[in-house]
Amino acid sequence: MAYWLLKTEPEEYSYCDLERDGTTVWEGVSNSLALKHLRTMEIGDLALIYHTGKERRVIGVAQIVSQPYPDPKLDDAKRVVVQVRAVRRVQEPITLTQIKQDGNFEGFDLLRLARLSIVPVSESHWQRLLQLTNGMN
């Protein structure tokens, strides 16, 4: 199983929207490195949903529920999507400031490649992020 962080503008599609919908197609990814990450996702992988913009915080957990497939809205086989489903909202949202101030996130792509919309999360970073949400497992 792999772990991910998926960024979204909450005004466009928030974790509340995902909870309401249950599942959604994670689309709109155009950056080549983010697409590379998207192509490696597997059914069962877990992802933290991160609200960008003014919020800048981890808000919930989702699960990848499909293999990557070409975006049916586009005529470009390189532009893939996956389906994700809501798992649970975190007890305490984790802000970007908290992550930056925590010494355990050295080398974390969220901090190194700030504009990347899909970020791999190592198991140690995943466990630390869960601890920051008040022990959510």
Over residues 18-30, the mean pLDDT reads 97
* pLDDT of 133 over the 90 cut: no
| pLDDT single digits (tens) 72-108 | 999 898 999 999 999 999 999 999 999 999 999 999 9
Confirm if 78 and 124 have CB atoms less than 8 A apart: no
Q: What is the pLDDT of residue 136?
A: 45
Cβ neighbours of residue 42 closer than 8 Å, sequence gap 6 or more? 1, 2, 64, 67
Q: What is the pLDDT of residue 117?
A: 96
| pLDDT single digits (tens) 26-54 | 999 999 999 999 999 999 999 999 999 99
Record the tokens describing residue 34, joined without a space: 């983010």
Quick one: which H or E segment has residue 30?
none
| pLDDT single digits (tens) 49-68 | 999 999 999 999 999 999 99
Tell whether the torsion through CA atoms of 116, 14, 71 and 69 is positive or negative. positive
Cα torsion through 4, 70, 39, 110, rounded to 10: -40
Record the tokens describing residue 36, joined without a space: 């590379």
Q: Which of 77, 96, 86, 84 is nearest to 35 (CA)?
A: 77
Domain ranges for the chain: 3-132
What's the CATH number for 3-132? 3.10.590.10
